[in-house]
A and B are shown apart, each in its own frame.
Chain A
Amino acid sequence: MTVIDLESYEDALATYDPVMGLEVHVELGTKTKMFCGCSTELKQGANSQTCPVCLGLPGALPVVNEIGVESAIKIGLALNCEIAEWCRFARKNYFYPDMPKNFQTSQYDEPIAFDGYLDVQLEDGEIFRVEIERAHMEEDTGKSTHVGGATGRIHGASHSLLDYNRAGIPLIEIVTKPIEGAGARAPEVAKAYVAELRELIKALGVSEARMEMGQMRCDVNLSLRPNGTETFGTRSETKNVNSLRSVERAARFEIQRHAAVLNSGGTIVQETRHFHEEDGSTTAGRIKDNAEDYRYFPEPDLVPVAPARDWVEELRKGLPELPRLRRKRLKEEWGVNEHDMQSILNAGAVDLIVATTDAGAPSDQARKWWMGELARNANETGRGLEELPITPAQVARVAALVAAGDLNDKLARQVIEGVLAGEGDPDTVVEKRGLKVVSDEGALSTAVDEAIAGNAAVADKIRGGKVAAAGALVGAVMKATRGQADAARVRELILEKLGVEG
């Protein structure tokens, strides 16, 4: 691999001002493709989800998926965009074997949504406004698999396999205006923007926006200009940066690379760049000079899209609370600080906690379990919280059992362990494992008496006023009851029996 010179980040920023443009493709979660009735389910065998339309067979014609249009409008509205009163699809003409018609049905100068913004919150709480140029509808391509080469790329391959199952899956491309003024925080802004956009898409319910599944893909365009100047420098386009962390790293790397090139008297080549997950670097792709010509023209096979104004307003009314505002509200409702809220967010626990409180648990209990025991388990087993085989309702049930005194914390952890192990719902686990708190006062009283008798020295200390020593006796009782006693009640009994005020 060629060694790429990098300027130190601090030195780069001392001289240059980064300008970014972010292009995000979101695969919509519609049941069928954008222009035909084929399923969007990708689990089937190669080319099983295809028809004359998405294979681009001679004579076949597209028909627009209405849910696709609706999703695009929802995204546009949530991004504070204008929604076109009348717009058309356009053909983007270029050749690639995984594109069945050798043109992509997209939108060109008449996007469905345009001129919006998204406010994103940086780690220190600062709000940065990212202006949105446009959001438009288009279709995905098929997938090529190059066989026989060393790298998996087309170079050196003996042949290629084409799978058109993905061809025609609806995409929304969201393009920002040039992001200026972020300075050293540009990589952080890029990451925060993509993170916020992902939350927004999920909240709208139009896509699961799982970056690791390719449902959301980001291109990072970046250029540098000398501090204090206006004219944009030449940009590079880093393609398919597919995680939040990678977005940040790619922007950072390109700032350092551009600075090194410029400082050594070189010029930036307008080109695409491949991002490398393993070391966060980028390498040159294809040159993008201005001669690239997609010969766009309005798609004659589709009628214009003219969303009725009352429909748009209806969709606007139905928009969910925006993620940033929702987070702000929840933070206040839960009474947590910025740092804890960020941890909850990073853990992907917000919706789970909300669902748990919706199921009746106090929010502190819901947070405690999801961010404690369950986060630990998820971490240990390498799963996401939402992948754990326990539902918010079950967590709420555990919390209810604790609140009722039927379980103590230690027992509750065992119940959760049982649920995660597939032993059934919390009540079943309590039943099967015999985990109920010993609340029979007679049995408890006997156990306390035995503990006092067996630890006379400790009992004397307590009688003498050293209330803190009661812990040892509580421990003995808990041991004797195999942890099934309510520790608070045990302590009360001990102090009562020894005639000491608690």
Chain B
Amino acid sequence: MTDISTIIKLTAAQIAEKIASGELTAVEVTEAHLARIEAVDEKVHAFLHVDREGALAQARAVDAKREAGEKLGPLAGVPLALKDIFTTRDMPTTVGSKMLEGWVPPYDATLTTKLKAADVVILGKTNMDEFAMGSSTENSAYGPTGNPWDLTRIPGGSGGGSSAALASFEAPLAIGTDTGGSIRQPAAVTGTVGVKPTYGGVSRYGMVAFSSSLDQGGPCARTVLDAALLHEAIGGHDPMDSTSIDAPVPPVVEAARNGSVAGMRVGVVKQFSGEGYQAGVVQRFNESVELLTSLGATVVELDCPSFDLALSAYYLIAPSECSSNLARFDAMRYGLRVGDDGTRSAEDVTALTREAGFGDEVKRRVILGTYALSSGYYDAYYGSAQKVRTLITQDFEKAFEQVDVIVSPTTPTTAFPIGERADDPMAMYLADLCTIPTNLAGNSAMSLPCGLAPEDGLPVGLQIIAPAMKDDRLYKVGAAVEAAFVERWGHPLLEEAPSL
């Protein structure tokens, strides 16, 4: 029997291999991770719900399959932490909000169904900023999550629960969603890997909507290959989501197994630099660019002027769509209901419920979006933002005529202390400066660790951006960078994280 501390350090690929070979059982692996959660999650608070029985039942089924001689899939028996934004029949789905406290959906998201079909063991649901609105997970109605590198700091957001679960070795795989950076920025500040697939690459059916035209579910892991294996398992066309792309998943696993940047043209965008970038972040980014050159890539400087407008456009489009998407939370059919004493009208009950059930950031964005869509303001706000979106897409198109991928820091700073930006929404929004353009254009991007900032010893993320449906390039480049860094450091970056 392998001990717990060894099991939890394994990658998903290693776990799957050991289960398939009989070296480990899925139950052993699951129990090890459940024990780790029990030991550290009180401090980390990555999970909102742990489904011990369900996870073990799934694990037993995998072991039974193996014993019966059935061929196991590439992730069979591997535990996973699922962001609490995907519907699950057998677990509550709260989206980090009081509004849906205790709600158990009557249906599984397509992504949930695919994970189950791949024999992935779902350990539970992870913490997040309420309705995925935030960059720190402080907006969760259920309390913040700590960054395993420093529990007094934020693990990024909105998917801070998923990134913290990975960095604290509670799970080797996790699922996130990325509307403006909610997969990549948490990956960056926790020293993990996160991928926002091309918009439409992973089904949104059963993923509670924040901003429909920007939201994209994707894989989170500790290695590039693990992310690719998960990407392949959850990707592909879904007839239940008309915006999902009807094409095969790009060959991400093959790319991750054959990392290389030799002969590739790598773009560095002028607009992803300047004021607000932490010195250590800039330093590690510059070293990454040098590394790429040393590995045989050609670096090209790019000018994408419309990227300067991305944050403004994002904060009109996302709130506008969310003001409509969240209208359904009216206390009538599911979730929280406040003040229904038999005398109040439906309108009063709805108002009281929203007052009690939505947090400040959600209210702020609903109000902002309602205003931006109002007649007389629509053209100036929502309309203009859509034009900016087109310009950003065009900037990317032009850029990708010159380069194969673009690189940038994932986020301008390392993890900031919990509470530091809680009362300063603008400062908080700046965390997504480099990630937002990709959401607006709908193409794909990855964040992976590129070292620790010298001044605070916290992880820095390197962002790789590829054109739409060229997600495989992220993995090809990512795998090469990862291998070179691990060789330079002598070990994966997470080895340097403090033990909890």
Identify the A interface with B (CB < 8 A): 52, 55-64, 91, 93, 95, 97, 100-103, 160, 162, 293, 295-297, 300-303
Contact = CB atoms under 8 A, between A and B. Distances in A.
B35 interface: no
Contacts of B240: 61, 63
A102 B330 contact: yes
11 contacts: A59-B109, A61-B204, A93-B323, A102-B330, A293-B374, A295-B323, A295-B324, A300-B212, A300-B213, A301-B242, A302-B242
A56 B87 CA distance: 13
A302 B243 CA distance: 6
Q: Is the interface of A mostly helix, strand, loop or mixed?
A: loop
B86 interface: yes
B105 A59 contact: yes
Contacts of A93: 323-324, 327, 373
- Among A57, A58, A160, A162, the most chain B Cβ lie within 10 Å of the Cβ of A58
B332 A101 contact: no
Given A57-B107, A162-B332, A293-B374, 17 more contacts: A58-B105, A58-B208, A58-B329, A58-B334, A59-B206, A59-B207, A60-B107, A60-B206, A61-B204, A95-B330, A95-B350, A97-B332, A97-B346, A295-B374, A297-B373, A297-B378, A300-B211
A171 B143 CA distance: 45
Given A102-B327, A303-B242, A295 B373 contact: yes
B75 interface: no
Given A59-B205, A95-B327, A103-B324, A160 B346 contact: yes
A58 B106 contact: no
B333 interface: yes
Contact of A60 (B205, B213, B320, B347): B205
A58 B324 contact: no
Q: Is the interface of B mostly helix, strand, loop or mixed?
A: loop
Contacts of A63: 239-242
Contacts of B21: none
B314 interface: no
B2 interface: no
Interface in B35-88: 86-87
- Among B106, B205, B213, B241, the most chain A Cβ lie within 10 Å of the Cβ of B205
B209 interface: yes
Contact of B328 (A62, A102, A160, A296): A102
B321 interface: yes
A302 B200 CA distance: 12
B113 interface: no
A157 to B, nearest CB: 10
Interface in B80-102: 86-87, 93, 95, 100
A61 B202 CA distance: 14
A297 B382 contact: yes
B87 A101 contact: no
Contacts of B334: 57-58
B239 A58 contact: no
- Among A97, A160, A162, A301, the most chain B Cβ lie within 10 Å of the Cβ of A301
Contacts of A62: 242
A91 B328 CA distance: 13
B328 A100 contact: yes
B216 to A, nearest CB: 12
Contacts of B370: 295
A57 B242 contact: no
Nearest to A63: B242
A303 B239 CA distance: 12
B321 A300 contact: yes
Interface in B343-384: 346-347, 350, 370, 373-375, 378, 382
Contacts of A300: 211-213, 243, 321
Contacts of A103: 324, 327
A91 B204 contact: no
A295 B321 CA distance: 11
Nearest to A162: B332
B309 to A, nearest CB: 19
Nearest to B211: A300
Contacts of B211: 300
Interface of B: 86-87, 93, 95, 100, 103, 105-107, 109, 204-209, 211-213, 239-243, 320-321, 323-324, 327-330, 332-334, 346-347, 350, 370, 373-375, 378, 382
B209 A59 contact: yes
Nearest to B239: A63
B17 to A, nearest CB: 34
B238 to A, nearest CB: 9
A102 B256 CA distance: 44
B105 A57 contact: yes
A58 B327 contact: no
Contacts of A301: 209, 212, 242-243
A293 B107 contact: no
A286 to B, nearest CB: 14
Contacts of A97: 330, 332, 346
Contacts of B320: 297
Nearest to B209: A59
A359 B333 CA distance: 54
Contacts of A57: 87, 105-107, 334
B242 A91 contact: no
- Among A64, A93, A162, the most chain B Cβ lie within 10 Å of the Cβ of A93
A290 to B, nearest CB: 9
A61 B373 CA distance: 22
Contacts of B103: 58
A61 B105 contact: no
Nearest to A36: B240
A16 B361 CA distance: 55
Nearest to A58: B208
A35 B233 CA distance: 27
Contact of A91 (B95, B107, B324): B324
Contacts of B323: 93, 295
Nearest to A293: B375
A293 B372 CA distance: 12
- Among B109, B327, B333, B334, the most chain A Cβ lie within 10 Å of the Cβ of B327
A130 B213 CA distance: 39
A61 B327 contact: no
A102 B212 CA distance: 16
A223 B100 CA distance: 48
A58 B346 contact: no
A172 to B, nearest CB: 20
A443 B253 CA distance: 98
Given A95-B350, A97-B346, A295-B375, A56 B328 contact: yes
Contacts of A297: 320-321, 324, 373, 378, 382
A62 B242 CA distance: 7
B290 to A, nearest CB: 41
A103 B209 CA distance: 14
Given A103-B324, A297-B320, A297-B324, A55 B333 contact: yes
B109 A101 contact: no
A102 B347 CA distance: 13
Nearest to B238: A61
A179 to B, nearest CB: 26
Contacts of B106: 52, 57
Contact of B242 (A59, A61, A102, A295): A61
A134 to B, nearest CB: 19
A299 to B, nearest CB: 8
A110 to B, nearest CB: 14
B486 to A, nearest CB: 38
A315 B241 CA distance: 27
Contacts of B209: 58-59, 301
A297 B95 CA distance: 25
B136 to A, nearest CB: 23
Nearest to A37: B240
A297 B324 CA distance: 9
Contact of A59 (B87, B327, B332): B87
A58 B93 contact: yes
Contacts of B241: 61, 63
Nearest to B369: A295
